[in-house]
Amino acid sequence: MSAASSSVPEIIVPAEAPARPERQPDRFPRAVVFGCAGTSLSDREARFFQAAAPLGFILFRRNVATPEQVARLTHDLRQAIGQPHAPVLVDQEGGRVARLRPPHWPEFPAARRFGDLWRHDPERAVEAVRANSRVLAATLLPLGITVDCLPVLDLPAPGSHDVIGDRAYSTDPIAVAQLGLAAAEGLLEGGVLPVVKHMPGHGRAGVDSHHELPTVDAAEADLLARDFAPFRALRYMPLGMTAHVRYLALDATRPATLSPVVLGEFIRDRIGFAGLLFTDDLSMQALPGAIEDRAAAAIEAGCDVALHCNGDLDEMVRVAAAVPPMSRHAARRWSIAEGIRQRSQQPADPDRLTQWRDMMLAGG
């Protein structure tokens, strides 16, 4: 285990829940977002979350059944840590990546639908994707979900794995930047924070990072000119997510999530991203080593918050013991992001926006 992880006391799940005070203002949350196992919290999970004090939570298909159940779960998650404004994240991109699905929730188009429209009518495509994000936000916010891991700013390359595929808007960096910006702004207008992903670019990956580590051998100049361009255009967004990808021209030994060089020199300096930086899911098999060592190494490398999604409580206990409280810089980045979210919300008519989006996608 790394030096940083050994300095953090072990998290032990208490046998009984003590009183649940509000988190003290001078106590930063632990630099981690956790998943949970099912559609409701077990007593053991609730006790663990209270003891671990994570920044927030993320939901997956295993966690959703009905709107009433999801709203109750997000309430209970926040209550467990005494933080009514703790972030609850979801991957609701549209297309094949959607945790909330019919019949209880609407189906959303894949990103590529908007990119196809952009090729012959960029203005209409931008308006369609903005309307789509407003509807996404109107779907999520009543459930207590305040962060959507969208937009995907990756640029698929010839021969790359389909793990990104139609989740990307286009192979044109200008289209991706314009559509990604509209998607992010639409979410913000609906009171939901966007997460730009996967920094600094997952589009060239030849394998699925859920199962193994992709290695990209493109030249630094090519990465800077093409892959990094959409992220540079959205560098002022409040939240971002790393890619579990190794770029030989940037750091020949470590994936971006674990690389101080990629995180510092390229994402922070060359791209200019100043927001809160999440890891991608630490449970993905692209990363080497034990789960607690992955978490500690990611924070040491420069990620602000580790993301552990699979809901395995034994793993979460180990991750919590390896991850420190958020740094002062990270806590300030989160405070700025939440402030932006609370100030950005505007009223919307989801039915009208859905009709408008569909009309534009149909060419009407």
pLDDT of residue 288: 86
For residues 183-204, give the mean pLDDT. 94
Q: How would you class 4 by CB atoms within 10 Å of its CB: exposed for 0-12, middle for 13-18, buried for 19 or more?
A: middle
Please give the DSSP secondary-structure letter assigned to residue 348: -
Q: How confident is the model at residue 209 (pLDDT cuts 50, 70, 90)?
A: low
pLDDT of residue 21: 39
User: In Å, how far are 274, 330, 363 from 238, measured between CA atoms?
Assistant: 8, 11, 33
Choose the weakest-confidence range: 39-43, 171-175, 285-289, 319-323.
285-289
Residue 319 lies in a domain: yes
pLDDT of residue 7: 39
Say yes or no to pLDDT of 18 above 70: no
Say yes or no to pLDDT of 182 above 70: yes
H or E, element range at 55: strand 54-59
For residues 321-332, give the mean pLDDT. 97
Pull the structure tokens for residue 346. Answer: 């505007």
Residue 332's contacts (CB-CB under 8 Å, 6 or more residues apart) are none
Pull the structure tokens for residue 20. Answer: 């649940």
Question: What proportion of the chain, given as a percentage, has pLDDT over 90?
Answer: 81
Please give the DSSP secondary-structure letter assigned to residue 267: I
| CB neighbourhood size of 308 (10 A) | 26
Residue 307 lies in a domain: yes
H or E, element range at 124: helix 122-140
The SS3 assignment for 114 reads: helix
Residue 331's contacts (CB-CB under 8 Å, 6 or more residues apart) are 28, 29
For residues 215-232, give the mean pLDDT. 94
Say yes or no to pLDDT of 236 above 60: yes
Q: Are 240 and 195 in contact (CB under 8 A)?
A: yes
For residues 282-300, give the mean pLDDT. 92
Report the candidate in 121, 244, 137, 114 with the shortest Cα–Cα distance to residue 185.
137
Residue 136 lies in a domain: yes
pTM: 0.91
For residues 249-259, give the mean pLDDT. 95
pLDDT of residue 162: 67
pLDDT of residue 1: 40
Residue 131 lies in a domain: yes
Q: One of 85, 121, 162, 210 is an active-site residue; which one?
A: 210
Interval 39-53: pLDDT, tens: 999 999 999 999 999
Tally of domains within the chain: 1
Distance separating alpha carbons of residues 338 and 344, to the nearest angstrom:
10
For residues 311-336, give the mean pLDDT. 97
The CATH number that applies at residue 80 is: 3.20.20.300
Residue 333 lies in a domain: yes
Say yes or no to pLDDT of 242 above 80: yes
Say yes or no to pLDDT of 16 above 70: no
Interval 44-88: pLDDT, tens: 999 999 999 999 999 999 999 999 999 999 999 999 999 999 999
Choose the weakest-confidence range: 2-6, 237-241, 328-332.
2-6
For residues 219-223, give the mean pLDDT. 95
For residues 184-204, give the mean pLDDT. 94
Say whether 280 is catalytic: yes
Interval 93-118: pLDDT, tens: 999 999 999 999 999 999 999 999 99
Residue 206 lies in a domain: no
Residue 1 lies in a domain: no
* Residue-range definition of the domain harbouring residue 77: 29-50+57-193+303-361
Residue 210 lies in a domain: no
Q: How confident is the model at residue 164 (pLDDT cuts 50, 70, 90)?
A: confident
Q: One of 280, 281, 293, 304 is an active-site residue; which one?
A: 280
**Per-chain mean pLDDT for the chain:** 90
